[in-house]
Amino acid sequence: MAPTPSAGRRTRVHVVSDVHGNARDLARAGEGADALICLGDLVLFLDYGDHSRGIFPDLFGRENADRIVELRTARRYAEAREFGNRLWAGIGADRAAAIEKAVRKQYAELFAAFPTPTYATYGNVDMPTLWREYARTGTTVLDGQRVEIGGRVFGFIGGGLRTPMRTPYEISDEEYAAKIEAVGEVDVLCTHIPPEVPELVYDTVARRFERGSRALLDAIRRTRPRYALFGHVHQPLARRMRIGATECVNVGHFAGTGRPWVLEW
């Protein structure tokens, strides 16, 4: 059950996104808070800052990780896919099993680190079908759903939109818009990806525009939540921006900072 403040008592919520395997800091992320919110991307498939970390280098080595990062950063996506396919061909029919085994290992550690209560939604690199196996009592998974925390209504929309990267939980614009519609008017809108605003979707290190949602931007303008919270873009051109009555905040790249963003009222 979501915490409800007693008379005169303030509510404090910590928000993280893009955890990417950082279980050590995740275990401390809820300290001093009434609840933790996680906006997804628990899995670390490949660390673009340290190419030796993640599922990909564990399977194929650092040199191959260096190469695929080089191709993706140069936006040579077709070459990156071809290169990746050649590597995966060496694993053969065991590809899906190898990925699932590695993801399960990370999920077991990460879900065990969640404090109680935690409210979480999926990122684009997550595998939703596995979450129900690892979410313990005290962790509530929400996608296209709402919950009340401290007297305020929070809406959650997980996943990302389709891109050439073809990450595990990318969905169509129509499916994403339907989840936004299902959430409706809320005080705090929690998503993994940002609204489609150039300053919010441009990654200054990767030097590319990530995919944001136009439907999300339209919903923010129409329903005017107090806050729109998101992650996904690790080094954004702008970390926060006001759109009408709404404060839009990129809560930060938790894998790199180890610090949650704090919301208090």
DSSP per-residue codes, 49-83: S-TTSSHHHHHH-HHHHHHHHHHHHTT-HHHHHHH
Residue 104 domain-assigned (yes or no): no
pLDDT in tens, the chain (265 residues): 555 655 578 999 999 999 999 999 999 999 999 999 999 999 999 888 889 989 999 899 999 999 999 998 888 989 999 999 899 888 877 888 888 999 999 999 999 999 999 999 999 999 999 999 999 999 999 999 999 999 999 999 999 999 988 899 999 999 999 999 999 999 999 999 999 999 999 999 888 899 999 999 999 999 999 999 999 999 999 999 999 999 999 999 999 999 999 999 9
pTM over 0.85: yes
Domain annotation covers residue 47:
no
What was the pLDDT predicted at 43? 95
The CB density around residue 50, as the number of other CB atoms within 10 Å, is: 12
In a domain, 159, yes or no: yes
Residue 204 belongs to what domain range? Answer: 12-42+117-259
Two structure tokens written together for 24: 């050590």
First to last CA, the chain: 19
pLDDT value, residue 9:
86
Output the DSSP codes for 140-190: EE-SSEEEEETTEEEEEE--EE--TT--TTEE-HHHHHHHHHHH-S-SEEE
| pLDDT given for residue 3 in this prediction | 58
Residue 164 within a domain: yes
Which DSSP letter does residue 211 get?
P
For residue 2, the model assigns a pLDDT of 59
What pLDDT score does 92 carry? 75
Q: What integer pLDDT is reported at residue 178 of this predicted model?
A: 98
Give domain status of residue 90, yes or no. Answer: no
Q: How far apart are CA 195 and CA 229, in angstroms?
A: 10
Q: Is residue 78 part of a domain?
A: no
CATH of the domain at 25: 3.60.21.10
Number of domains comprising the chain: 1
Q: How far apart, in whole angstroms, are the C-alpha atoms of residue 155 and residue 240?
A: 19
Strand partners, 152: 149
In-domain check, residue 85: no
Is residue 71 in some structural domain? no
Q: Which two tokens stand for residue 41?
A: 């991307």
**Distance separating alpha carbons of residues 32 and 246, to the nearest angstrom:** 26
CB 241 within 8 A of CB 200: yes
